[in-house]
Amino acid sequence: MVFIVDKDGTFDEPLDKIWRFLTSQSSAHSHPGNMNVQTETQDGHTILSYENVIPGANGTVKHKLKMTMIPPVAMTMEYLEGPLAGSKTVQYYQPKGINRTDVVVVGEYTSNVIPEAQLKTLVLRNLDQVFREDQENLRRFE
């Protein structure tokens, strides 16, 4: 298990736009590598199931997460199934002036299929990729 604090994300967008984007039902907040995406609501939480290809894995990998939105401050995620099952994270948002918002991800990541020596690197790489995809999608989002 590894504990990660990632403070490297700053969106060039205001906080209110980020929350409209995160809670949008449109395809604007999607990630190109995710397939068979399904969402459902349970007791105020969003359950997100999807598949993607992870480098080094054979075929697709299934994931299931429980997300709780706490606008305009934070989002929690608990990985229920998949290679990160048991991991728990919080990402929070902090306005920086009029049109910039910092995002900080804090989490305890665990995996019974990814060796601990590789886990931190893989998680940070994924966080960076998701941030870059969100940044690009936010530019197009109205």
The C-alpha atoms of residue 133 and residue 105 are separated, in whole angstroms, by 16
The 10s digit of each residue's pLDDT in 20-39 is 988 886 655 666 666 566 67
Strands of the sheet with 101-109, listed across from one edge: 2-11, 101-109, 88-95, 74-81, 60-70, 45-53, 35-42
41 or 83, which is more confident?
83
pLDDT of residue 47: 75
Q: Which CATH class is domain 2-31+65-140?
A: alpha beta
Q: In which band, very low, low, confident or very high, does the pLDDT at 105 lie, cut at 50, 70 and 90?
A: very high
Answer yes or no: is pLDDT of 8 > 80: yes
Answer yes or no: is pLDDT of 62 > 90: no
Q: Indicate yes or no: pTM above 0.75.
A: yes
Answer yes or no: is pLDDT of 118 > 80: yes
The 10s digit of each residue's pLDDT in 74-97 is 999 999 998 999 999 999 999 999
Place of tokens 């109205």: 142
